[in-house]
Amino acid sequence: MSVKLNIVVMRGGPGAEREVSLRSGAGVARALRALGHVIFEVDPRTDDWILPPRTDVVCLAPLHGAYGEDGQAQSRLESLGVLYTGCDAESSRLAFDKILTKKRCMETGVPTADFAVVRSPTEPFPVRFKPPLVVKPARQGSSVGLQFVSSRAEWPQAVAEALKFDSEALVEEKIIGRECTVGILDGRPLPVVEVRPKSGSYDYRNKYTAGLTDYFCPADFDAAQTRRIQEAGVGAFRAIGGRDYGRVDVMVRGNGEPVVLEVNTQPGMTETSLFPKGAAAAGIGYEQLCQQLIDLALRRKPPSPSPAAMAA
């Protein structure tokens, strides 16, 4: 590294994913310090957070969930004129809202499942669907509030549980197939990661409890199928206007058809998270990955005026 930077790593925040964000942030801060940068850690749990003087760039990579992924932090930093990593405020807002993401995917021809929106536990079972279904809050991450409906009798309780976390819930068929994710880095897909929980679904517990899930990267697909999955991931990321980096969750049906589930603009950044796993399979180590996220943000820094221009 040739330039030592003053970097603010934002981690924590007020959302349901606070604990995961703190863990991600600890790893990112440690990696960037090891590279020689001066690191300040800011927890935007309340709105009165401030940045240290002479901040060169803010690393938002560890700030998962509400505030970090919904565009609020990005909007605040844009108003301050401060560089930050990752997607801008508008694309973050779109991706965090699963309903808006689904609409963008459908508008741009990205393969995704049909869906419905519910706003009350008293709404009737949607007649065009058959169990099993998935019900999830429209604006949460890390499988927070995720519910499965295997029969019509389970419908009211599942909707009520999902609506504890948001005023709207998204309903779609439960895709039967292989669960995968595609990291996007600087516009290009990383190797596909396949996720296989040892029991149940890839819910919050299976995601964050060591030993409960097996991961395979690169996933065991042939070259043509891998390309289809990666194209679906890149297509979804472009559909929401993503930049720099992200991760797209994709189910692969038994017939090989990829189905996009959602877009994550601030994917997990612990050293064992899915996004770093994909980067590692591409030969990009964790410290190198953290540095690359900073470098991508710095590309947006306006060039300094030349001495001649300043003197003119």
DSSP category for residue 88: -
pLDDT in 10s for each residue of the chain, 312 residues: 458 999 999 999 998 889 989 999 999 999 999 999 999 999 999 989 999 999 999 999 999 988 999 999 999 999 999 999 999 999 999 999 999 999 999 999 999 999 999 999 999 999 999 999 999 999 987 678 899 999 999 999 999 999 999 999 999 999 999 999 999 999 999 999 999 987 666 555 556 556 778 999 999 999 999 999 999 999 999 999 999 999 999 999 999 999 999 999 999 998 789 999 999 999 999 999 999 999 999 999 876 544 444 344
* Residues 106 and 226 placed together within one structural domain of the fold: yes
Amino acid at residue number 185: L
- For residues 303 and 53, give the distance between their C-alpha atoms in angstroms, rounded to a whole number: 21
The answer to whether position 304 is within a domain reads: no
Peptide bond into 132 cis (omega under 30): yes
**254 CB neighbour count, 10 Å cutoff:** 8
Sequence-ordered strand ranges (E) for 91-185: 115-118, 133-137, 147-149, 169-173, 177-185
Q: Identify the CATH number of the domain in which residue 27 sits.
A: 3.40.50.20
The verdict on 59 and 128 lying in the same domain is no
Angle between helices 223-239 and 98-107 (to 10 degrees): 110
Q: Around Cβ 296, how many Cβ atoms within 10 Å?
A: 17
Active site residues: 17, 142, 208, 247, 249, 262, 264, 268
pLDDT at 308: 44
Residues 246 and 265 in one domain: yes
- pTM reported for the whole predicted model: 0.90
Instruction: Write down the pLDDT at residue 249.
Output: 96
What does the pLDDT read at residue 36?
97
Q: Are 130 and 54 contained in the same domain?
A: no
Range(s) of the domain holding residue 279: 94-111+175-288
CATH number of domain containing 119:
3.30.1490.20
